[in-house]
A and B are shown apart, each in its own frame.
Chain A
Amino acid sequence: MLTKRIVPCLDIKDGRTVKGVNFVDLRDAGDPVVLAKQYADLGADELVFLDISATQEKRKTMHDMVLKVAEQVNIPFTVGGGISSVEDVDDLLHCGADKVSINSSAVKRPVLINELSEKFGSQCVVVAVDAKKIGGEWFVHLAGGTIPTEIKLFEWAKEIEERGAGEILFTSMNHDGTKAGFANEALAKLSELVNIPIIASGGAGTIQHFADTFKKGKADAALAASVFHFGEIAIIDLKKELKRQGISVRL
Protein backbone atom coordinates (compact mmCIF):
# COMPACT_ATOMS: atom_id res chain seq x y z
CA MET A 1 0.00 0.00 0.00
CA LEU A 2 1.26 3.46 -0.87
CA THR A 3 2.22 5.33 2.30
CA LYS A 4 1.74 8.94 3.34
CA ARG A 5 4.98 10.89 3.12
CA ILE A 6 6.69 12.98 5.80
CA VAL A 7 8.79 15.71 4.21
CA PRO A 8 11.20 17.96 6.15
CA CYS A 9 11.92 21.24 4.37
CA LEU A 10 15.31 22.96 4.54
CA ASP A 11 15.75 26.63 3.73
CA ILE A 12 19.09 27.24 2.04
CA LYS A 13 20.97 30.50 1.74
CA ASP A 14 24.34 30.69 -0.03
CA GLY A 15 24.69 26.93 0.22
CA ARG A 16 24.03 26.77 3.97
CA THR A 17 20.99 25.82 5.99
CA VAL A 18 19.28 28.91 7.32
CA LYS A 19 18.63 29.54 11.03
CA GLY A 20 16.13 27.47 12.87
CA VAL A 21 18.06 24.27 12.83
CA ASN A 22 18.87 22.98 16.26
CA PHE A 23 19.96 19.37 16.18
CA VAL A 24 22.03 18.87 19.29
CA ASP A 25 24.01 15.94 18.02
CA LEU A 26 25.10 17.33 14.66
CA ARG A 27 28.62 18.53 14.12
CA ASP A 28 27.48 21.10 11.57
CA ALA A 29 23.77 21.83 11.45
CA GLY A 30 24.46 24.49 8.83
CA ASP A 31 25.63 21.91 6.33
CA PRO A 32 22.62 20.84 4.25
CA VAL A 33 24.27 17.55 3.30
CA VAL A 34 24.88 16.51 6.92
CA LEU A 35 21.35 17.49 7.83
CA ALA A 36 19.85 15.70 4.85
CA LYS A 37 21.68 12.49 5.68
CA GLN A 38 20.49 12.76 9.26
CA TYR A 39 16.87 13.13 8.14
CA ALA A 40 17.16 10.21 5.75
CA ASP A 41 18.47 8.05 8.61
CA LEU A 42 15.70 9.24 10.92
CA GLY A 43 12.96 8.07 8.55
CA ALA A 44 12.08 11.09 6.42
CA ASP A 45 10.44 9.93 3.18
CA GLU A 46 11.58 12.82 1.02
CA LEU A 47 13.32 16.16 1.42
CA VAL A 48 12.70 19.63 0.03
CA PHE A 49 15.47 22.22 -0.34
CA LEU A 50 14.26 25.76 -0.81
CA ASP A 51 16.90 28.22 -1.94
CA ILE A 52 16.15 31.67 -0.57
CA SER A 53 19.43 33.36 -1.47
CA ALA A 54 19.38 36.26 -3.86
CA THR A 55 23.05 36.49 -4.82
CA GLN A 56 24.54 36.30 -8.28
CA GLU A 57 26.43 33.14 -7.39
CA LYS A 58 23.20 31.49 -6.32
CA ARG A 59 23.05 29.12 -9.25
CA LYS A 60 26.52 27.71 -8.77
CA THR A 61 26.26 27.23 -5.01
CA MET A 62 22.93 25.47 -5.50
CA HIS A 63 24.42 23.15 -8.11
CA ASP A 64 27.27 22.27 -5.79
CA MET A 65 24.84 21.53 -2.98
CA VAL A 66 22.54 19.40 -5.15
CA LEU A 67 25.50 17.37 -6.39
CA LYS A 68 26.67 16.70 -2.84
CA VAL A 69 23.20 15.77 -1.63
CA ALA A 70 22.66 13.42 -4.57
CA GLU A 71 26.03 11.87 -3.90
CA GLN A 72 25.36 11.10 -0.25
CA VAL A 73 21.62 10.84 0.37
CA ASN A 74 19.63 7.73 -0.55
CA ILE A 75 16.10 9.18 -0.54
CA PRO A 76 14.43 11.48 -3.10
CA PHE A 77 14.66 15.24 -2.89
CA THR A 78 13.09 18.29 -4.48
CA VAL A 79 14.82 21.59 -5.15
CA GLY A 80 13.01 24.92 -5.35
CA GLY A 81 13.65 28.66 -5.28
CA GLY A 82 14.16 30.98 -8.22
CA ILE A 83 13.76 28.34 -10.94
CA SER A 84 12.35 29.98 -14.05
CA SER A 85 13.49 28.19 -17.20
CA VAL A 86 13.92 24.82 -18.88
CA GLU A 87 17.70 25.32 -18.66
CA ASP A 88 17.54 25.85 -14.88
CA VAL A 89 15.69 22.57 -14.50
CA ASP A 90 17.96 20.69 -16.90
CA ASP A 91 20.97 21.76 -14.84
CA LEU A 92 19.43 20.76 -11.51
CA LEU A 93 18.28 17.35 -12.76
CA HIS A 94 21.73 16.74 -14.19
CA CYS A 95 23.20 17.49 -10.78
CA GLY A 96 20.98 14.74 -9.36
CA ALA A 97 17.80 16.46 -8.13
CA ASP A 98 14.77 14.17 -8.41
CA LYS A 99 12.16 16.89 -8.67
CA VAL A 100 12.07 20.66 -9.00
CA SER A 101 9.55 23.00 -7.52
CA ILE A 102 8.46 26.15 -9.33
CA ASN A 103 6.23 28.86 -7.92
CA SER A 104 6.18 32.51 -9.01
CA SER A 105 7.69 31.68 -12.40
CA ALA A 106 4.74 29.36 -13.13
CA VAL A 107 2.23 32.07 -12.26
CA LYS A 108 4.03 34.60 -14.44
CA ARG A 109 4.41 32.20 -17.34
CA PRO A 110 2.11 29.17 -16.90
CA VAL A 111 3.31 27.54 -20.14
CA LEU A 112 6.56 26.80 -18.27
CA ILE A 113 4.69 23.92 -16.61
CA ASN A 114 3.91 22.43 -20.04
CA GLU A 115 7.47 22.91 -21.23
CA LEU A 116 8.94 21.20 -18.19
CA SER A 117 6.56 18.25 -18.10
CA GLU A 118 6.97 17.64 -21.82
CA LYS A 119 10.74 17.74 -21.66
CA PHE A 120 11.39 16.01 -18.34
CA GLY A 121 8.13 14.21 -17.52
CA SER A 122 5.39 15.19 -15.07
CA GLN A 123 6.99 13.15 -12.31
CA CYS A 124 9.69 15.74 -11.64
CA VAL A 125 7.55 18.88 -11.86
CA VAL A 126 6.18 20.17 -8.57
CA VAL A 127 4.24 23.41 -8.59
CA ALA A 128 4.28 25.22 -5.24
CA VAL A 129 1.31 27.44 -4.48
CA ASP A 130 1.21 29.95 -1.64
CA ALA A 131 -2.32 31.11 -0.97
CA LYS A 132 -4.20 33.20 1.54
CA LYS A 133 -7.88 33.16 2.42
CA ILE A 134 -9.30 36.66 2.08
CA GLY A 135 -13.01 37.25 2.68
CA GLY A 136 -13.94 33.61 2.26
CA GLU A 137 -11.94 33.11 -0.93
CA TRP A 138 -8.42 31.70 -1.42
CA PHE A 139 -6.05 33.85 -3.50
CA VAL A 140 -2.61 32.89 -4.83
CA HIS A 141 0.31 34.98 -3.52
CA LEU A 142 3.78 35.42 -4.98
CA ALA A 143 7.31 35.94 -3.73
CA GLY A 144 7.04 33.84 -0.61
CA GLY A 145 3.49 34.94 0.02
CA THR A 146 4.21 38.65 0.08
CA ILE A 147 2.56 39.76 -3.16
CA PRO A 148 -1.19 39.13 -3.59
CA THR A 149 -2.70 38.27 -6.97
CA GLU A 150 -6.24 38.04 -8.30
CA ILE A 151 -5.74 34.36 -9.11
CA LYS A 152 -8.07 32.00 -7.30
CA LEU A 153 -6.44 28.97 -5.72
CA PHE A 154 -8.78 26.25 -6.99
CA GLU A 155 -8.84 27.54 -10.57
CA TRP A 156 -5.06 27.72 -10.55
CA ALA A 157 -4.74 24.20 -9.12
CA LYS A 158 -6.90 22.82 -11.92
CA GLU A 159 -4.78 24.63 -14.50
CA ILE A 160 -1.56 23.33 -12.92
CA GLU A 161 -2.82 19.77 -13.32
CA GLU A 162 -4.03 20.31 -16.89
CA ARG A 163 -0.67 21.76 -17.88
CA GLY A 164 1.04 18.56 -16.76
CA ALA A 165 2.50 19.07 -13.28
CA GLY A 166 3.05 15.91 -11.25
CA GLU A 167 2.38 17.32 -7.81
CA ILE A 168 1.14 20.41 -5.97
CA LEU A 169 2.82 21.78 -2.85
CA PHE A 170 0.18 23.91 -1.16
CA THR A 171 1.14 26.36 1.58
CA SER A 172 -1.56 28.25 3.43
CA MET A 173 -0.30 31.70 4.39
CA ASN A 174 -3.02 31.83 7.02
CA HIS A 175 -1.59 28.78 8.74
CA ASP A 176 2.15 29.04 8.02
CA GLY A 177 4.10 29.72 11.20
CA THR A 178 1.06 29.41 13.49
CA LYS A 179 1.70 25.82 14.60
CA ALA A 180 -2.08 25.54 14.86
CA GLY A 181 -2.60 22.84 12.22
CA PHE A 182 -2.77 22.58 8.43
CA ALA A 183 -5.45 24.16 6.20
CA ASN A 184 -7.37 20.89 6.00
CA GLU A 185 -10.58 22.20 4.48
CA ALA A 186 -8.80 23.75 1.51
CA LEU A 187 -6.51 20.72 1.22
CA ALA A 188 -9.43 18.30 1.07
CA LYS A 189 -11.07 20.41 -1.59
CA LEU A 190 -7.84 20.46 -3.61
CA SER A 191 -7.51 16.70 -3.31
CA GLU A 192 -11.01 16.18 -4.65
CA LEU A 193 -10.54 18.70 -7.44
CA VAL A 194 -7.29 17.41 -8.94
CA ASN A 195 -5.96 13.91 -9.47
CA ILE A 196 -2.27 14.54 -8.73
CA PRO A 197 -0.66 14.21 -5.28
CA ILE A 198 -0.93 17.14 -2.85
CA ILE A 199 1.73 18.07 -0.29
CA ALA A 200 0.31 19.95 2.70
CA SER A 201 2.43 22.77 4.08
CA GLY A 202 2.03 25.42 6.74
CA GLY A 203 0.82 25.03 10.30
CA ALA A 204 2.43 21.87 11.67
CA GLY A 205 2.73 22.09 15.45
CA THR A 206 1.79 18.72 16.87
CA ILE A 207 1.70 15.08 15.84
CA GLN A 208 -2.09 15.24 15.72
CA HIS A 209 -1.88 18.01 13.11
CA PHE A 210 -0.20 15.54 10.76
CA ALA A 211 -2.81 12.88 11.47
CA ASP A 212 -5.56 15.43 10.79
CA THR A 213 -4.08 16.61 7.50
CA PHE A 214 -3.88 13.03 6.21
CA LYS A 215 -7.40 12.12 7.40
CA LYS A 216 -9.39 15.35 7.11
CA GLY A 217 -7.17 17.15 4.61
CA LYS A 218 -6.72 14.02 2.45
CA ALA A 219 -3.11 15.10 1.84
CA ASP A 220 -0.66 12.67 0.24
CA ALA A 221 2.35 14.16 2.00
CA ALA A 222 2.97 16.67 4.77
CA LEU A 223 5.83 19.14 4.81
CA ALA A 224 7.20 20.90 7.87
CA ALA A 225 10.35 22.70 8.92
CA SER A 226 10.73 23.99 12.45
CA VAL A 227 8.99 21.16 14.34
CA PHE A 228 11.59 18.81 12.88
CA HIS A 229 14.60 21.14 12.95
CA PHE A 230 14.10 22.00 16.63
CA GLY A 231 13.46 18.41 17.57
CA GLU A 232 9.94 19.18 18.78
CA ILE A 233 8.65 16.20 16.84
CA ALA A 234 10.78 13.14 16.17
CA ILE A 235 9.89 11.56 12.84
CA ILE A 236 9.88 8.06 14.31
CA ASP A 237 7.41 9.06 17.06
CA LEU A 238 5.28 10.83 14.49
CA LYS A 239 5.14 7.78 12.23
CA LYS A 240 4.38 5.40 15.09
CA GLU A 241 1.43 7.51 16.17
CA LEU A 242 0.16 7.87 12.59
CA LYS A 243 0.32 4.10 12.22
CA ARG A 244 -1.55 3.65 15.52
CA GLN A 245 -4.28 5.87 14.09
CA GLY A 246 -4.56 3.62 11.05
CA ILE A 247 -2.62 5.84 8.62
CA SER A 248 -0.28 3.99 6.28
CA VAL A 249 3.35 5.07 6.79
CA ARG A 250 6.79 3.64 6.07
CA LEU A 251 8.26 2.41 9.34
Chain B
Amino acid sequence: MNLKIVNYGAGNIKSIQFAFQRLGYNAQLSNNADEIINAEKVIFPGVGEASSAMKMLKETGLDLLIPKLSQPVLGICLGMQLMCNYTEEGDTKGLGIFKTNVKRFSNGVKVPQMGWNTVENLKSDLFKNINEKDYMYLIHSYYAENCEEAIATSDYEIEYASALENGNFYGVQFHPEKSGTTGEQLLKNFLEL
Protein backbone atom coordinates (compact mmCIF):
# COMPACT_ATOMS: atom_id res chain seq x y z
CA MET B 1 0.00 0.00 0.00
CA ASN B 2 1.18 3.49 -0.85
CA LEU B 3 1.09 5.11 2.56
CA LYS B 4 2.52 8.57 3.21
CA ILE B 5 3.18 10.44 6.42
CA VAL B 6 3.10 14.21 5.91
CA ASN B 7 6.53 15.43 6.97
CA TYR B 8 6.52 19.15 7.75
CA GLY B 9 8.96 19.13 10.64
CA ALA B 10 6.47 18.62 13.44
CA GLY B 11 7.12 16.12 16.17
CA ASN B 12 8.01 12.52 16.69
CA ILE B 13 6.98 10.83 13.46
CA LYS B 14 9.39 7.95 13.84
CA SER B 15 6.96 6.29 16.24
CA ILE B 16 4.16 6.39 13.67
CA GLN B 17 6.42 4.90 11.03
CA PHE B 18 7.48 2.15 13.43
CA ALA B 19 3.86 1.40 14.37
CA PHE B 20 2.97 0.76 10.72
CA GLN B 21 6.14 -1.28 10.33
CA ARG B 22 4.96 -3.52 13.20
CA LEU B 23 1.75 -4.04 11.22
CA GLY B 24 3.79 -4.97 8.15
CA TYR B 25 3.45 -1.71 6.20
CA ASN B 26 6.08 0.67 4.98
CA ALA B 27 4.88 4.25 5.59
CA GLN B 28 7.08 6.83 3.90
CA LEU B 29 7.67 10.39 4.98
CA SER B 30 6.91 13.02 2.38
CA ASN B 31 6.40 16.74 1.94
CA ASN B 32 6.06 16.46 -1.82
CA ALA B 33 2.62 17.47 -3.14
CA ASP B 34 2.51 14.94 -5.99
CA GLU B 35 3.59 12.08 -3.75
CA ILE B 36 0.97 12.96 -1.17
CA ILE B 37 -1.81 13.38 -3.74
CA ASN B 38 -0.99 9.97 -5.23
CA ALA B 39 -0.84 8.09 -1.93
CA GLU B 40 -3.65 5.66 -1.09
CA LYS B 41 -3.69 6.76 2.54
CA VAL B 42 -2.23 9.83 4.22
CA ILE B 43 -1.22 10.33 7.84
CA PHE B 44 -1.08 13.91 9.10
CA PRO B 45 0.87 13.92 12.38
CA GLY B 46 1.85 16.75 14.69
CA VAL B 47 3.34 17.35 18.07
CA GLY B 48 4.31 20.71 19.48
CA GLU B 49 2.76 24.15 19.27
CA ALA B 50 -0.14 24.97 16.92
CA SER B 51 0.83 28.36 15.46
CA SER B 52 4.40 27.31 14.61
CA ALA B 53 3.15 24.03 13.11
CA MET B 54 0.65 25.97 10.97
CA LYS B 55 3.43 28.29 9.90
CA MET B 56 5.50 25.31 8.72
CA LEU B 57 2.48 23.97 6.82
CA LYS B 58 2.03 27.30 5.07
CA GLU B 59 5.68 27.55 4.14
CA THR B 60 5.40 24.29 2.22
CA GLY B 61 1.93 24.99 0.77
CA LEU B 62 0.59 21.90 2.52
CA ASP B 63 -2.13 24.01 4.19
CA LEU B 64 -3.81 24.32 0.79
CA LEU B 65 -3.11 20.77 -0.33
CA ILE B 66 -4.43 18.79 2.66
CA PRO B 67 -8.07 19.98 2.61
CA LYS B 68 -8.28 19.02 -1.10
CA LEU B 69 -7.15 15.41 -0.64
CA SER B 70 -9.73 12.79 -1.57
CA GLN B 71 -8.20 9.60 -0.14
CA PRO B 72 -8.56 8.69 3.59
CA VAL B 73 -6.50 11.11 5.72
CA LEU B 74 -5.81 10.53 9.41
CA GLY B 75 -4.76 13.47 11.57
CA ILE B 76 -3.08 12.55 14.84
CA CYS B 77 -2.92 14.74 17.97
CA LEU B 78 -1.92 18.27 16.89
CA GLY B 79 -2.58 17.14 13.30
CA MET B 80 -6.23 16.61 14.22
CA GLN B 81 -6.39 19.96 16.02
CA LEU B 82 -4.99 21.79 12.99
CA MET B 83 -7.75 20.23 10.87
CA CYS B 84 -10.37 22.04 12.99
CA ASN B 85 -11.72 25.56 12.38
CA TYR B 86 -9.70 27.33 15.01
CA THR B 87 -7.43 26.67 17.98
CA GLU B 88 -6.86 28.89 20.99
CA GLU B 89 -3.22 27.78 21.03
CA GLY B 90 -1.32 30.70 19.52
CA ASP B 91 -4.70 32.10 18.32
CA THR B 92 -4.41 29.94 15.20
CA LYS B 93 -6.82 29.55 12.29
CA GLY B 94 -7.02 25.88 11.30
CA LEU B 95 -7.65 24.08 8.01
CA GLY B 96 -11.42 24.14 8.59
CA ILE B 97 -11.99 20.47 7.77
CA PHE B 98 -13.74 19.74 11.06
CA LYS B 99 -16.39 22.27 12.12
CA THR B 100 -15.26 22.60 15.70
CA ASN B 101 -12.89 24.68 17.79
CA VAL B 102 -9.95 23.72 19.98
CA LYS B 103 -9.73 25.12 23.50
CA ARG B 104 -7.38 24.85 26.47
CA PHE B 105 -8.33 22.73 29.47
CA SER B 106 -9.08 24.88 32.50
CA ASN B 107 -6.85 24.83 35.56
CA GLY B 108 -9.46 22.72 37.35
CA VAL B 109 -7.51 19.71 36.11
CA LYS B 110 -3.81 18.95 35.63
CA VAL B 111 -2.62 20.27 32.28
CA PRO B 112 -1.43 18.57 30.12
CA GLN B 113 -3.72 15.58 30.37
CA MET B 114 -1.16 12.82 30.30
CA GLY B 115 -1.90 9.10 30.24
CA TRP B 116 -4.54 6.55 29.33
CA ASN B 117 -8.16 7.59 29.07
CA THR B 118 -11.25 5.79 27.79
CA VAL B 119 -12.88 6.45 24.40
CA GLU B 120 -16.69 6.34 24.31
CA ASN B 121 -19.65 6.92 22.00
CA LEU B 122 -17.72 5.22 19.20
CA LYS B 123 -19.32 5.63 15.80
CA SER B 124 -17.10 5.02 12.82
CA ASP B 125 -15.52 2.01 11.08
CA LEU B 126 -12.30 3.51 12.35
CA PHE B 127 -13.26 1.91 15.70
CA LYS B 128 -14.14 -1.51 14.32
CA ASN B 129 -13.26 -4.23 16.86
CA ILE B 130 -12.56 -1.57 19.47
CA ASN B 131 -14.90 -1.55 22.46
CA GLU B 132 -16.62 1.27 24.28
CA LYS B 133 -14.35 2.38 27.16
CA ASP B 134 -11.18 0.87 25.72
CA TYR B 135 -8.09 2.89 26.60
CA MET B 136 -5.99 5.15 24.41
CA TYR B 137 -2.86 7.15 25.29
CA LEU B 138 -3.29 10.92 25.30
CA ILE B 139 -0.97 13.79 25.98
CA HIS B 140 -2.43 17.23 25.31
CA SER B 141 -3.29 20.61 26.81
CA TYR B 142 -5.93 21.58 24.23
CA TYR B 143 -9.09 19.70 23.23
CA ALA B 144 -11.61 19.77 20.38
CA GLU B 145 -15.09 20.72 21.52
CA ASN B 146 -17.67 17.98 21.19
CA CYS B 147 -19.63 18.30 17.94
CA GLU B 148 -21.65 16.39 15.36
CA GLU B 149 -18.52 15.14 13.64
CA ALA B 150 -17.27 13.46 16.82
CA ILE B 151 -16.84 9.70 16.37
CA ALA B 152 -15.42 9.23 19.88
CA THR B 153 -15.51 11.26 23.06
CA SER B 154 -13.39 11.25 26.18
CA ASP B 155 -13.88 12.81 29.55
CA TYR B 156 -11.40 15.11 31.24
CA GLU B 157 -13.21 17.75 33.24
CA ILE B 158 -15.65 17.91 30.33
CA GLU B 159 -16.71 15.59 27.53
CA TYR B 160 -14.74 16.48 24.40
CA ALA B 161 -14.22 15.02 20.92
CA SER B 162 -11.30 12.58 21.01
CA ALA B 163 -11.90 11.52 17.38
CA LEU B 164 -13.55 13.27 14.41
CA GLU B 165 -14.73 12.29 10.95
CA ASN B 166 -15.84 14.34 7.96
CA GLY B 167 -16.02 12.48 4.65
CA ASN B 168 -12.58 11.07 3.87
CA PHE B 169 -11.00 12.98 6.76
CA TYR B 170 -10.40 11.42 10.15
CA GLY B 171 -8.72 12.85 13.22
CA VAL B 172 -7.75 11.35 16.57
CA GLN B 173 -6.56 13.24 19.62
CA PHE B 174 -4.89 10.18 21.13
CA HIS B 175 -1.72 8.51 19.87
CA PRO B 176 -2.72 5.19 18.28
CA GLU B 177 0.96 4.48 17.66
CA LYS B 178 1.50 4.50 21.45
CA SER B 179 -1.78 2.96 22.57
CA GLY B 180 -0.79 -0.70 22.74
CA THR B 181 -2.86 -3.27 20.86
CA THR B 182 -5.99 -1.06 20.85
CA GLY B 183 -4.08 1.64 18.99
CA GLU B 184 -2.74 -0.93 16.54
CA GLN B 185 -6.29 -2.07 15.84
CA LEU B 186 -7.26 1.52 14.98
CA LEU B 187 -4.33 1.91 12.59
CA LYS B 188 -5.28 -1.41 10.98
CA ASN B 189 -8.87 -0.16 10.61
CA PHE B 190 -7.64 3.02 8.96
CA LEU B 191 -5.65 1.01 6.43
CA GLU B 192 -8.77 -1.01 5.63
CA LEU B 193 -11.04 2.01 5.05
Residue ranges of A at the interface with B (Cβ–Cβ < 8 Å):
1-5, 40, 45-46, 67, 70-72, 74-76, 93-98, 118, 120-124, 166-167, 195-197, 220-221, 250
Contacts and interface: CB of A to CB of B under 8 A. Distances in A.
Contacts of B183: 74
**A-side interface mostly:** loop
Contacts of B32: none
Contact of B141 (A46, A118, A122, A124): A122
26 contacts: A1-B117, A1-B155, A2-B117, A2-B156, A3-B116, A3-B117, A70-B15, A71-B21, A72-B18, A74-B19, A74-B22, A74-B177, A74-B179, A75-B179, A76-B137, A76-B175, A96-B15, A98-B12, A98-B139, A121-B49, A123-B139, A123-B141, A196-B111, A197-B112, A197-B114, A221-B115
A1 B118 contact: yes
Interface of B: 11-12, 14-15, 18-19, 21-22, 47-49, 107, 110-118, 135, 137-141, 155-156, 175, 177-181, 183-184
A96 B47 contact: no
**B-side interface mostly:** mixed
Given A40-B180, A74-B178, A75-B137, A220 B48 contact: no
Contacts of A98: 12, 15, 139, 178
A52 B107 CA distance: 36
B36 to A, nearest CB: 22
A45 B135 CA distance: 11
A224 B146 CA distance: 37
Contact of A70 (B14, B112, B135, B184): B14
